[in-house]
Structure 1
Amino acid sequence: MDRAAIVHKNFLTRVAAGDLPAGNAPTGPLAGPEAVSIFRSECLSRAMDLKSRAMQKAGQGFYTIGSSGHEGLAAVSAALRPTDMAFLHYRDAAFQIQRGEQVPAQSMAWDMMLSFACSSDDPISGGRHKVLGSKALNIPPQTSTIASHLPKAVGAAYSIGAAKRHRPEHAVLPDDAIVYCSFGDASANHSTAQGAFNTAGWTAFQSVPMPLLFCCEDNGIGISTKTPKGWIAANFQNRPGIKYFACDGLDIYDTYATALEAARYVRERKKPAFLHVRTVRLYGHAGADVATSYLPKAEVERDEANDPLLHSVRLMQAAGALEPDAALKIYTDTIARIERIGDQVVTRPHLQTAQDVMASLVPPKRKCAPSNGPSASAREAAFGSDLRAMEEPQIMSRLINWALTDLMLEHGEIVMMGEDVGLKGGVYGVTQKLRQRFGPDRMIDTLLDEQSILGLAIGMAQNGYTPMPEIQFLAYLHNAEDQIRGEAATLSFFSEGQYTNPMVMRIAGLGYQKGFGGHFHNDNSVAVLRDIPGVILACPSNGADAARMLRECVRLAREEQRVVAFLEPIALYPMRDLHEAKDGGWMQRYPDPSEKIALGEVGLHGGGQDLAIVTFGNGVYLSQQALPAIEAAGIKARIVDMRWLSPLPKDALTEAVQGCDNILVADETRHSGGVAEALMAHFHEVSDAKLARLTAEDSFIATGPAYAATMPSKDSITAAALNLIGKTS
């Protein structure tokens, strides 16, 4: 007999015999009807665990990770409001079930079992994963996250105070809401979690509103690795800025009272709290995991004897809320009900095709209030003397700054956040004057933690903002890339487009900085961004394009709810000249605020048919420098500026090289995993032209005189072009 069957049998026999575990008497404000409601949720969660294991064995269910032992979290749910956004631990089925009792017209058993069966009728994920989540219950879906949802919970909590001061168009959380975020004791050790705790405390320490309730469900073990006894309490009892509460999750009366107190503290004080809930883990970790293979049988049996459902029966009897025989009937009736539902959900349809699976990768469009751009008076007040400077050509960094100003004037829900973006105006001055123009609420200087920067953006996006987080250098993104891969980009996919993360992530990156910082400040790898389904990656080559593309990126985020990465070539920020000193060949005038470059629209310079140089970013600048020597060799060439690196603008690229005999891909990213690989494959599929590629070496970037030695140059582009066509330099 497996452990699930043993726990089930123990409950039946012990309740029938009146053999209930010892414990404290029921205390606190939990009334009898509410206690019975919580017990019903516990029973339903348990019944679904049992049925899902049977479904998996029969090949009718997939990926079981149960909530047995954690059913007491239903009492925490009862202490909160359904308007409190909840980011849930994967063992929180009972929490979601109990919240369903607070919202009319919910069918939690049917809906959740559809998810367990991975049916396309599943109302939250459409059959893409067994997840907890519900739009009606204000529970964004989570897969099997190991703390990656904590940073966005911090961001969502921060957004409540921000929205009270300046409410965005698509805000969903009321002013008196709090954000709830639960996780396991093992996950609390993850660097992502520690960063979130630190950010919440750091924010609250400065008296900035942070209505966030962390909840650690401490069952003492992470898969097979024990949590040291007393570790969670020792770690969190005295965290600066975070109030600590603890309760016994086996006792629904104690749990409800403590959760009520913690929620009241967070709601009234607008400060974060840490709710430490003692639980047990029944059945092992997940799926076929057998706890007795790494734990003594006596220890497993001790936890089974502390079944929270047995404790609830004892406590309700002592409180006069429900007699054991009535509790036993609720349990058996619930088991029978889930058996019937389980037999029905396995007959419901499943996703069949790639198109079905991918249907929610791209979020749905949403209605936004119309905008005619910033008014002349608002621009005059914001720009001042910069308006006159717009009549003259400027460097890229300044044009980006002006574009950001116009966008923030036009869209009040745009908020920027990052290291040094406010008071300093960014490491390269790109965000100078924006804090003076829009205030600290919209130009947020964050602590130095990329996970927290992106989490702040993701969380604020879920409350109606259009965030524009800045990652100071491309190399720094790798500290936090899972916030994009595992959280922002997947949210629409796992929620059938019901939840989205519209945002424009600005990243200063790529190479060619002279003598500055080596590979930590010169990073020419974008593979991690191009590999994430649904993410748009844009990269301008000049200031005017940067302004026009940035406006399109904001439109894509604001109206189409897309996750966009805007990669700004650092070396081109200050670039003035093209061929000779003081020729001003790379400066441009600021384009009218109405002008945009549409997603997928490539740039084309020249119309020569001998050669097409397909490139982007710094490659466009270098190709322009190489063009006189190429043309002097009698080669009629054109330069195709990709602009959009992902998704690859295939149709536009095909059209842009039409009629060319030779195609040279000039790619400043690395030979392995670089953009050129996709371009070469595409052109091989659609063109008969002769192909060649010039890429960076598979190397990090050096500091000092060799700063550009591993990447394409004006001379190497010239040589590659001549070699492709069969001419000698």
Structure 2
Amino acid sequence: MPRSEIVHESFLRRVTARDFPSGKAPEPGLSAADAVRLYRAQCLSRALDRQSRAMQKAGQGYYTIGSSGHEGMAAVAHAARPTDMAFLHYRDAAFQIARADQVPGQDMCRDMLLSFACAAEDPISGGRHKVLGSKALTIPPQTSTIASHLPKAVGAAFSLGLARRHPPEHRALAEDAIILCSFGDASANHSTAQGALNTASWTAYQGLPLPLLFVCEDNGIGISTRTPNGWIKASQAARPGVRYFAADGLDLYQTFAVAAEAADYVRRCRKPAFLHLRMVRLYGHAGADLPTTYMAREEVEAEEANDPLLHSVRLLDLAGALAPDQALAIYTETLDRVAQVAAEVVTRPRLRTAAEVMESLIPPARPCAARNGPGPEARAEAFGADLKAMDEPQPMSRLLNWALTDLMVTHPEIVLMGEDVGRKGGVYGVTQKLFTRFGAGRVMDTLLDEQSILGLGIGMAHNGFLPVPEIQFLAYLHNAEDQLRGEAATLPFFSRGQFSNPMVVRIAGLGYQKGFGGHFHNDNSLAVLRDIPGLILACPSRGAEAAMMLRECVRLAREDQRVVVFLEPIALYPMRDLHRDKDGLWMDHYPAPDQRIGFGTVGTQGTGRDLAIITYGNGVYLSHQAEPALRAAGIDLRIVDLRWLAPLPEAAIRAAAQDCAAVLVVDECRRSGNLSEALMTLLADHPCKARLTAEDSFIATGPAYAATLPSAQGIVTAALALLR
């Protein structure tokens, strides 16, 4: 017999016989009516778990990781407010059900069954996944997270304090709100969880507001791997700046009392807390998991004997809130009601086509207040003496700095964050003076943890800010790429565009730094960014273009709610000269603040029809260096600067190359897995084409820094060979 049936039959038998597990008397705090409501939420959560297994067996449902054993989370929901944003563990159906009871017009039974059935009418994901989440309940959707939601919970909590001082235009959370995030004991060991907990502690230790309640649901096991007894308390109880609370999650009354105390502490003190709840896991990890294959039967049966629903019936009886026979009737009536609703839900339409699935990849545009750019007085105050320097051409790094200044003057919801971006002004000086111009509330030096930097941005975007997090080097992104792939980019997809986290991530990257850093500071692979659905990847090649593209990236985030990565070529930051020393040909004047380069617009220099060189970033610079030698060889050429690397502006690329006799793709990234592959496929019909790429190698330090990369001479050689 399946464990779900064993637990069910045991519940019926033991309630009828008044055979309850031992435990404490009910603690004060819950009224009889509230306690009964929470028990009903627990019963609905259990009934949904049972129904999900029946649906899967019948081929009508597709996901069975349930919440059985974790029904105590209903009491945590009751201790918080519906306006407190909650990032939930996937075993928290009882939390969402109990919260729905606080908000009129909710039907969690039908909504969750629609999600189980992957029905297109599922109100949160539209049939794309079985997720917890609800716009009305302030619960962003989460899938099978391994603590990847904790960094953004820290960011959302941090945003609450900042929003009190600088309310953003699209503020989403109440001024006195707190943030909750829940997770399992196994996930607490993940580096993402450890980073988020450390960041919360680091922030609170400095006295900064961070109203965040961590809720660890400790059932003692992660799939089949045991959590050492006492580990969670030992590792969390003394964390600096984070107050520790603990309760028996099987005890509805005690869980509410302790959760209410913890939530009140977080709300009043604006400090983080850690709520440690003892739970049990019933039915195994998921529908196909058999716990008796890796646990002794006696151990499994001991967990089942501690069924939290049995504890709730005992406590309700002792409190005089509900007699056992009444509790049993609620349980069986709930099972019947869920089965009836499920019979109708499984007939509802499901997604069928690629277009239907992909409909929510891109979030909807949102109305924004008109911003006419910074006025003369505001600009004069922000720029100071730099205004006079705008009369002269400047390298990319300085033009980016001025673009950021203009954007921050225009849009007060923009917040910069990253390692060394504040007082130091960035490793390469791109953010110099911004800390002085805008203060610590808008230019933040973070701790050294890329997951926390991106999580801070994602969380702040949940509350209406427009974050501009900086990853110091492209190679450092790999420590945190799932924050973009698994969290930021998936949010509109799994919420039908109801939630979004728009931001512009600045990353210094690519190669050609002379003799510095090796592969950690010269990373020439974009594969990890180019294959994230919905993400925009932009890469400028010279200063004026960088300023105008950055403005467009901010517009895309602010108005279209997009997640944008702005990749800045490190080697071109200080570049002044093109062909000879002090020719100044790679510097630009600062473009007027209202000038932008539109999304998907490629840049074409020259009108030659013999050869089109299609490239980006450093490749544009090298192609211009190669141009005189090619023209001397009688080749009339044009240089096509892609600018927008994901999604590729395919029509514009074809149009830029269609009337040329030959096409040379110059890709400074590695031959495998990068842009040149997509471009060669796009140009498959062109009769004369070739590509010049970097080798499939890491980059060396010292004199060989460019040995594996395309060069100006390499472009000349490749072009001549192609045309021959």
Task: Please classify the TM superposition score into its range, dividing by the shorter chain length.
Answer: over 0.9
Counterpart of 2:683 in 1: which secondary structure?
helix
> Which residue of structure 1 aligns with residue 8 of structure 2?
8
Q: Distance in 2 between matches of 1:569 and 1:21?
A: 65
> Which residue of structure 2 aligns with residue 295 of structure 1?
295
> Which residue of structure 2 aligns with residue 607 of structure 1?
607
> Which residue of structure 2 aligns with residue 380 of structure 1?
380
Write the letter of the residue equivalent to 1:15. V
Measured after TM superposition, the shift of residue 385 of structure 1 is 1.2
Q: Distance in 2 between matches of 1:372 and 1:23?
A: 65
> Which residue of structure 2 aligns with residue 352 of structure 1?
352
Q: Distance in 2 between matches of 1:180 and 1:163?
A: 18
1:109 partnered with 2:109: yes
Give 1:701's match in structure 2, choosing from 682, 689, 699.
Answer: 699
| Structure 1 unmatched ranges of 5 or more | none
Q: Distance in 2 between matches of 1:669 and 1:287?
A: 44
**Deviations 1:212-234 (CA, angstroms, capped at 9, x unpaired):** 00000000000000000000010
Write the letter of the residue equivalent to 2:717. A
> Which residue of structure 2 aligns with residue 421 of structure 1?
421
**Deviations 1:276-335 (CA, angstroms, capped at 9, x unpaired):** 000000000012101011100011100111000000000010011100000000000000
Write the letter of the residue equivalent to 2:411. H
> Which residue of structure 2 aligns with residue 714 of structure 1?
712
Superposition pairs for residues 119-518 of structure 1, below 5 Å? 119-518=119-518
Write the letter of the residue equivalent to 2:190. H
Superposition pairs for residues 85-100 of structure 1, below 5 Å? 85-100=85-100
Counterpart of 1:110 in 2: which secondary structure?
helix
Q: Bigger shift: 384-393 or 65-74?
A: 384-393
Q: Distance in 1 between matches of 2:30 and 2:87?
A: 24
Superposition pairs for residues 587-606 of structure 1, below 5 Å? 587-606=587-606
Counterpart of 1:253 in 2: which secondary structure?
helix
1:639 partnered with 2:639: yes
Counterpart of 2:666 in 1: which secondary structure?
strand
Write the letter of the residue equivalent to 1:213. L
Q: Distance in 2 between matches of 1:699 and 1:95?
A: 50
Give the conservation status (yes or no) of the 8 Å contact 1:667–1:696: yes
Give the conservation status (yes or no) of the 8 Å contact 1:247–1:255: yes
**Deviations 1:483-521 (CA, angstroms, capped at 9, x unpaired):** 000000000000000001100000000000011110000
Q: Distance in 2 between matches of 1:342 and 1:110?
A: 8
Q: Distance in 1 between matches of 2:516 and 2:580?
A: 23
**Deviations 1:236-285 (CA, angstroms, capped at 9, x unpaired):** 01001110000000000000000000001100111100000000000000
> Which residue of structure 1 aligns with residue 118 of structure 2?
118
Superposition pairs for residues 17-96 of structure 1, below 5 Å? 17-96=17-96
Write the letter of the residue equivalent to 1:534. G
Give 2:690's match in structure 1, choosing from 692, 695, 698.
Answer: 692
Write the letter of the residue equivalent to 2:311. H
Measured after TM superposition, the shift of residue 658 of structure 1 is 2.3
> Which residue of structure 2 aligns with residue 549 of structure 1?
549
Q: Distance in 2 between matches of 1:662 and 1:8?
A: 72
Measured after TM superposition, the shift of residue 568 of structure 1 is 0.1
Q: Distance in 1 between matches of 2:106 and 2:23?
A: 34
> Which residue of structure 1 aligns with residue 721 of structure 2?
723
Measured after TM superposition, the shift of residue 8 of structure 1 is 0.6
Give the conservation status (yes or no) of the 8 Å contact 1:178–1:211: yes
> Which residue of structure 1 aligns with residue 683 of structure 2?
683
Counterpart of 1:432 in 2: which secondary structure?
coil
TM-score of the aligned structures, taking structure 1 as reference length: 0.99
**Deviations 1:642-662 (CA, angstroms, capped at 9, x unpaired):** 000000110110111121010
Q: Distance in 1 between matches of 2:116 and 2:63?
A: 8
Counterpart of 1:705 in 2: which secondary structure?
helix
Q: Distance in 2 between matches of 1:504 and 1:346?
A: 41
Measured after TM superposition, the shift of residue 595 of structure 1 is 0.5
Measured after TM superposition, the shift of residue 589 of structure 1 is 0.2
Give the conservation status (yes or no) of the 8 Å contact 1:155–1:455: yes
Measured after TM superposition, the shift of residue 28 of structure 1 is 2.3
Counterpart of 1:277 in 2: which secondary structure?
strand
Q: Distance in 1 between matches of 2:686 and 2:427?
A: 46
Write the letter of the residue equivalent to 1:674. N
Q: Distance in 2 between matches of 1:407 and 1:201?
A: 32
Counterpart of 2:247 in 1: which secondary structure?
strand
Give the conservation status (yes or no) of the 8 Å contact 1:663–1:689: no
**Deviations 1:496-549 (CA, angstroms, capped at 9, x unpaired):** 000011000000000000111100000001100001000000000000000000
Counterpart of 1:587 in 2: which secondary structure?
coil
Write the letter of the residue equivalent to 2:429. G
Counterpart of 1:478 in 2: which secondary structure?
helix
Measured after TM superposition, the shift of residue 688 of structure 1 is 2.8
Flag as ranges the 4+ runs of structure 1 deviating above 3 A. Answer: none
Measured after TM superposition, the shift of residue 384 of structure 1 is 1.1
Give the conservation status (yes or no) of the 8 Å contact 1:660–1:689: no
Q: Distance in 1 between matches of 2:581 and 2:368?
A: 46
**Deviations 1:389-410 (CA, angstroms, capped at 9, x unpaired):** 1111000000000000000000
Q: Distance in 2 between matches of 1:186 and 1:536?
A: 34
Give the conservation status (yes or no) of the 8 Å contact 1:461–1:503: yes
Q: Distance in 2 between matches of 1:370 and 1:110?
A: 41
Q: Distance in 2 between matches of 1:118 and 1:275?
A: 33
Measured after TM superposition, the shift of residue 174 of structure 1 is 1.1
Write the letter of the residue equivalent to 1:239. R
Q: Distance in 2 between matches of 1:658 and 1:576?
A: 33
Write the letter of the residue equivalent to 1:103. V
> Which residue of structure 1 aligns with residue 563 of structure 2?
563
Write the letter of the residue equivalent to 2:701. T
Counterpart of 2:540 in 1: which secondary structure?
coil
Counterpart of 1:435 in 2: which secondary structure?
helix
Q: Distance in 2 between matches of 1:93 and 1:462?
A: 22
Counterpart of 1:322 in 2: which secondary structure?
coil
Write the letter of the residue equivalent to 2:484. I
Write the letter of the residue equivalent to 1:699. S
**Deviations 1:361-390 (CA, angstroms, capped at 9, x unpaired):** 011000000110011110011111111111
Give the conservation status (yes or no) of the 8 Å contact 1:209–1:270: yes
**Deviations 1:453-485 (CA, angstroms, capped at 9, x unpaired):** 000000000000110000000000000000000
Counterpart of 1:24 in 2: which secondary structure?
coil
Measured after TM superposition, the shift of residue 30 of structure 1 is 1.2
Q: Distance in 1 between matches of 2:723 and 2:393?
A: 36
Q: Distance in 2 between matches of 1:63 and 1:708?
A: 50
Write the letter of the residue equivalent to 1:530. R
User: Quick one: percent identity of the two aligned structures?
Assistant: 70
Q: Distance in 2 between matches of 1:725 and 1:652?
A: 23
Measured after TM superposition, the shift of residue 606 of structure 1 is 0.4
Superposition pairs for residues 614-633 of structure 1, below 5 Å? 614-633=614-633
RMSD, aligned CA: 0.5
